[in-house]
Amino acid sequence: MDDLFTIVDMFFVGKLGLSALAAVAVAGTIIGVLVMLAVGVTTGCTALVAQAIGGGDRRRAEVVAGQSLALAIGLSLLAGGVSVFSRPLLAAFGAAPDVVAQGTEYLQVALGGSFAILLTVTFSAALRGAGDAVTPLKIMGVGNLMNIVLDPILIFGWLGVPALGVAGSAWATVISRAFSAALLAWLFFVNGHKHFSLRAGDLRPRARTIWRMSKIGVFSSGQMLMRNLSAIVLIRIVAVFGTVVLAAYGIGIRLRMAVMMPGMGFGNAAATLVGQNVGALKPRRAEQAGWIVTGMYGLIALLMSVIFCAFARPVIAVFNADSQVVAAGASFLWWFSPTFVFVAFSIVLGRAMNGAGDTFWPMMITAVSMLALRIPLAWGLSIVWSESGIWAAIAVSNVVQGLLFATAFWWGRWKRIGQRHLQAARDI
């Protein structure tokens, strides 16, 4: 549901031409930095709320949720200030003047209304920590329906509304997300959720709570930064081999997201189960939960691995029937698909460790596997083995990353970190 906002926006903006599409793409890179910071807030929120709920301390969970919202509001104010510099920020990417002009309108609205995104994801993170993933799903579904209706109206000027172009897409998203945020705020502050009944005073900043969430979240944001850096460098290596290979890689990356999407859901479940059991002083059951959830997603990953290997060519042809693209894309899938089970280890066990409050080791494992191993290996193998060398490097790094996450989870340092957070709970 979160990704659907972007997909719908890109669909309608694409009707305005390549410049408009490029404007949203470049602006999205800057917005990605804000999303990276939001990941830090939500990871800390989910972990501490899960531990509080697991320990039967509803009031502490409410305080954590309130402080997470206060932090999200602070980030949105910062983003609003940055929106003033939208034009020079976009110009720094070297985009054409018309792209910069349209991108500026889009970015100013998106950053100015960033409170809507940040509040929605923060409310949702608190609910996930409490074990409720259904409520945010429903509310985000309502927001998406509103966005689908508002996008063409505001972009193209339907129903007598002035045509806002690219900026209309940003306004549609902000309005839709703000509506979702309002529904969630009503649930938290007015109607009352079974785990949350917040008061206005819960938003008053508490330095110790914010510091504890930040200690958890900063490494989670760092992990996302490393993933993004790896992706940027890798696509530059791929681009050397031309448009055909680049197109095949782009299709492969989108298929990878199809594999990872259910893994993220299972990973969030693992984070909640681990966090709540750590909070309940049941570390052994927390560990069992992590392995069981990994096994559940591992079975799905294994099935998808068999399907993608067996039907690699027709799967690629669905996106592009060009024979060269199909051949290059199938080669990518034949290398990548057998590593799906190791991807399951990485996603689920990494998020399970996050649920206990351990984000440092997941960040370090990501740094080793994606920056220290994948990039140099892809560059070196591409010299002697062309694009197949890149596919091989991705596969090898997936296996190494999965094994490192499995080892780190088995090692159990995350249990001790979870205990430290519990001991510090008296400060919250």
Residue 165 in contact with residue 16, Cβ under 8 Å?
A: yes
Alpha-carbon dihedral sign for residues 326, 332, 338, 344: negative
* DSSP structural state of residue 56: T
Measured CA distances, 402 to 1, 335, 397 (Å): 27, 16, 8
Residue type, 67: Q
Q: Is 315 helix (H, G, I), strand (E, B) or coil?
A: helix
Residue 151 in contact with residue 159, Cβ under 8 Å?
A: no
Question: How far, in whole angstroms, is CA 164 from its chain's centroid?
Answer: 29
Q: Of 427, 410, 414, which is closest to residue 278 (Cα–Cα)?
A: 414
Residue 353 in contact with residue 409, Cβ under 8 Å?
A: yes
Rounded CA separation 25/362 (Å): 29
| Torsion angle of C-alpha atoms 90, 94, 96, 98, degrees rounded to 10 | 10
pLDDT of 375? 94
196's CB contacts (< 8 A; 6+ apart) are 58, 61, 62, 65, 126, 127, 130, 187, 188
pLDDT of 240? 85
**Domain regions of the chain by residue span:** 2-205, 219-427
The 10 Å Cβ neighbour count of residue 272 is: 28
The pair of three-digit structure tokens given for residue 320, joined into one six-digit string: 């592009």
Residue 172 in contact with residue 158, Cβ under 8 Å?
A: no
* DSSP structural state of residue 96: -
Residue type, 217: G
The pair of three-digit structure tokens given for residue 77, joined into one six-digit string: 């104010």
pLDDT of 20? 79
Q: Of 108, 34, 122, 120, which is closest to residue 75 (Cα–Cα)?
A: 34
Q: Where are the alpha helices (DSSP H) in 83-205?
A: 86-91, 97-112, 114-129, 134-156, 166-186
DSSP characters over 192-252? --SS----GGGGS--HHHHHHHHHHHHHHHHHHHHHHHHHHHHHHHHHTT-HHHHHHHHHH
Residue type, 183: L
Q: Tens digit of pLDDT per residue, the chain (428 long)?
A: 777 777 777 778 778 876 777 777 777 777 877 887 888 888 889 999 999 999 888 889 999 999 999 999 998 999 989 888 888 888 876 667 887 888 888 889 999 998 998 999 999 999 999 989 899 999 999 999 999 999 999 999 998 888 898 889 999 999 999 999 999 999 999 887 788 888 888 899 888 888 888 888 889 888 888 887 888 788 788 888 887 888 888 788 778 877 888 898 899 999 999 999 999 999 999 999 999 999 999 999 999 999 999 999 998 888 778 899 899 999 999 999 999 999 999 999 999 999 999 999 999 999 999 999 999 999 999 999 999 999 999 999 999 999 999 999 999 999 999 888 888 765 55
Residue 352 in contact with residue 409, Cβ under 8 Å?
A: yes
Measured CA distances, 395 to 5, 261, 297, 341, 404 (Å): 31, 19, 19, 11, 14
Longest dimension (CA), the chain: 63
Rounded CA separation 326/188 (Å): 50
Could you tell me the pTM of the whole model?
0.83
